[in-house]
Structure 1
């Protein structure tokens, strides 16, 4: 409901940006930040809902659990790894809605 019509978006990165979960890029002159947060621009309701949804998804879906563990092993923090999983979930939801397919966990492997 918060997204509106899926046909308004031509790629999943637009939804990621709308939800405010896109990584923030910060640089100034010769300085380029190594550790940044998310943009937090866009729908705070959608962002909060996605972060609440991703916890049980990580806990109960083996593909997301593996992806979360991969990000943790790469040195990412808990919230950062969650953010990566949220963005992955958005890309999957976008694909399912655009192609009008049913969710099949076997296709995620």
Structure 2
């Protein structure tokens, strides 16, 4: 995957550990501090990403930023057009930049979980395929 080099992979694998200890990608997202947690008091509350500050959360944040980057200069080429389009769609839905970035992070968790669980390499979607909304 564009943005994941040997160093990033070497950080991801030990931080995640044995992928089979997570029954699904939601559990991995929760472990990484990306899944929403209910913060409430007095019967009122809201869901927020906990962002527990662990190393895994930081790795996924950096990956998400890399996926939505746009090159500076004349060509303005996106690093990953599908993730960039997904991010822009989340912004258009009324999410803040931070919330939209968390959506990208969550999508990355799903992809990396699947790759590790099924022992497969990343296969980019064809240009005609779009990421589904969450």
TM-score above 0.5, yes or no:
yes
Alpha-carbon distance in structure 2 between the residues aligned to 1:24 and 1:74:
21
Conserved in 1, the CA contact under 8 Å of 2:39 and 2:48? Answer: no
Give the structure-2-normalised TM-score: 0.70
User: Are residues 1:102 and 2:121 paired?
Assistant: yes
Report how many aligned residue pairs link the two structures: 106
Q: CA deviation at 1:5?
A: 0.9
Asked if 1:39 is matched to 2:50, the reply is: yes
Point out where structure 1 has 5 or more consecutive residues left out of the alignment: none
Structure number having the greater strand percentage: 2
Which of 31, 37, 57 pairs up with 2:67? Answer: 57
Equivalent position SS for 1:24: strand
Aligned to 1:105, what secondary structure does the other structure show? Answer: coil
TM-score when normalising by structure 1: 0.85
Q: Distance in 2 between matches of 1:5 and 1:107?
A: 30
Structure 2's unaligned 5+ residue stretches are: 1-13, 70-78, 130-134
CA displacement, residues 31-86 of structure 1 (integer Å, 9 cap, x when unaligned): 343xx431234x61111121112111122111111110111001111111000100
- Look up the match of 1:16: 29
